[in-house]
Chains A and B, each alone.
Chain A
C-alpha cells in the first residue's frame, strides 16, 4: 500500500508540485533572457567595457552616465524617439479608428476587408521600411508622381534626403504599418457594442456625431487604452523602419535610441557605454508604462 501511494504520487503529483513543474520552463527562460540581462545591463553600465580594443575592463563608476548626459547624440536620439512616439501613436489611433469604422460596415463578403487589415500587420517592419523608401524616392517614387499629377508639377520633394522630410516619411510609414493592428483591436471592440444603444439614442434624437462621442468612444475606451499601451511601448523601440529607410540619416536626423544603442554595441562593440544608453532608455520606457498604468488605475 505504501509503495502504491509513492507511485501514485509520482504519476499524479500534488497541485503545487505540478504547478512548479509546468511553470518552470517559462520562468527559466524569462530568467535567462529578461531578468539576468537586466542585472547584467546595470552592472555593465559601471564599466569601461570595449570588446574591440585590448584595454580590458575598468570600473568607472558613474562616468558613463555623466557622458550620456553630455552626449549630443543621445539627446538627439532621445528627442527623435519621443517625437516619433508622440506623432505616430495618436496618428495610428486616428487612422486605425477610421479603418475600424469603415471595416465595421455590414459587408456581404467580409474577407477582403479583413485581409486588407491583416496584411500590413503581418508584413515585417523592415519590409514596410524598404517598400516605403521606394514610394518616397525623389525621382521615381509613386508618392511624388501622385503629387505631381494631382497637385502641382513643381520641384519634387526630396523626401529621404532632407532631415524634416525624411522624418515625416518615416512617421507616415510607421502610421501606415501600425494602424491596421490598431484597427483590428478597435474593430473587435466596436463589434461588442450592443446595437440597442444606438437605437435608443436614435429615438432620443441624437445625431450621428453625438452618438460617436457619447456611445462609441466611451464603450471603446478599454480597447483604445490597450491598443495605446501596446503601440506606445513598441513606438519607443522604433528601429526597423528608420534603419531600412534612412539608416538614421541624413546625418543623424532620424536616428532613434534603439539605433544608437545598436550602433554603439554591435558596430562599435562599446558594451559599457551601450549598456548605459540602454539603462537610460529602459528608465524612459518604465516611466511611460508607469504613467499608463496609473491612468488605467484611475479609470477603473
Chain B
C-alpha cells in the first residue's frame, strides 16, 4: 500500500503534530512556572525563560497548603481505588463466572449507572452527606467515587475474568479447593493484570474529579488538589507563574503514573469503552 506517509520525514511530521498537540500545554505551563512576574508581563511575551527561577515553586507551597492538598488527593484517590476494586471485583466475578439468570441485565444495570449525570445527583448527595455529618471528610468523596468507578472497573474485570479458563478453577476444586479457595488461589493471581489496569483507571478518575470535591469538601483540611489549585487566584489577580508551578506539581504524579503504565491504560480504556 503506497501512501504519502511512506516517506520517513512526513511520518515524523505526523508524529510531531500529535506530540505537540498533547504536550504543548504542559510544556507551556512548565516554561511559565520558571519565569519571574516581571518577565511575564513584558511585551512581546517571551517563550524561553530568560532568568529561570524556582521561586514560584516555593511560593506555590507557601501561598496555599499545597502539600496538604496533595496528601488529601492521594488519600481520597487511593482509598477510592482500593474500595472500587474490591466492590467491582466481587460483582465482576459473579457476572463472569456464576451460573446466574439475567447476568446481562445485572451488568447493564451497573453500566447504566454511569449514564446518570452526576451533577443532578449532587443536590441529594450533598443533603445526605450533610445529614450524616459527613461534609468535609474523606468518606464524603470516597463513597460517590466508588460508584463513579464501578462501571468501567466492572467492565474491565468481567472481560479479564472471562479470559481465565474455567478449567483451571475446576481443576483446583477437584483437587479439594472450595469455590472460595479456588477464587483466592487461582483466579485472583491470574486476574492481577486486569485488577491493576482497572485500578489505574479508577485512580485517574478519582484524582481528576472536581464538582463533588468542590461542593462537599470546602474545609481546607479536606480540600483536594484540583479544587485547591483554583484558589491561588484572587478576585482580580491571577498569579500565573505560581499557579503554573502548582499545576506542574499536581500534574507530575499522574503523568509519571500513565507514562510507566501507558500500555495497560490504553488497553483498559479501549476495553472498558468498546464493550460499553
Contact = CB atoms under 8 A, between A and B. Distances in A.
Interface in B17-53: 17-19, 21-23, 25-26, 28-29, 32, 40-41, 43-45
Interface in A85-123: 99, 102-103, 105-107, 111-123
A253 interface: no
Given A22-B93, A33-B125, A271-B123, A227 B143 contact: no
A276 B183 CA distance: 46
B90 A113 contact: no
Majority secondary structure of chain B interface residues (helix, strand, loop or mixed): helix
A258 B117 CA distance: 9
A251 interface: no
A19 B144 contact: no
A285 interface: yes
A265 interface: yes
A18 B179 contact: yes
A62 interface: no
B154 interface: yes
Nearest to A230: B273
A208 interface: yes
B110 A30 contact: yes
A161 interface: no
Interface string B195-228: 0000000001001111100110000000001110
B163 interface: no
Contacts of B3: 208
A240 B210 contact: yes
Interface of A: 11-13, 15-16, 18-19, 22-23, 25-26, 29-30, 32-34, 36-38, 40-41, 44, 99, 102-103, 105-107, 111-128, 130-135, 137, 139-140, 142, 145, 148, 176, 180-181, 184-185, 187-189, 195, 198-199, 202, 208, 222-223, 226-227, 229-230, 233, 236-237, 239-240, 243-244, 257-258, 261-262, 265-266, 271, 274-275, 278-279, 281-282, 285, 289
12 contacts: A22-B98, A36-B128, A107-B11, A111-B262, A128-B25, A131-B247, A180-B22, A208-B3, A223-B274, A239-B119, A244-B230, A285-B117
Interface of B: 1, 3, 5, 11, 14-15, 17-19, 21-23, 25-26, 28-29, 32, 40-41, 43-45, 86-88, 90-91, 93-94, 98-100, 106, 109-110, 113-128, 143-144, 146-147, 150, 154, 178-180, 204, 207-211, 214-215, 225-227, 229-230, 238, 240, 243-244, 247, 250-251, 254-255, 257-259, 262-263, 265-266, 269-270, 273-274, 276
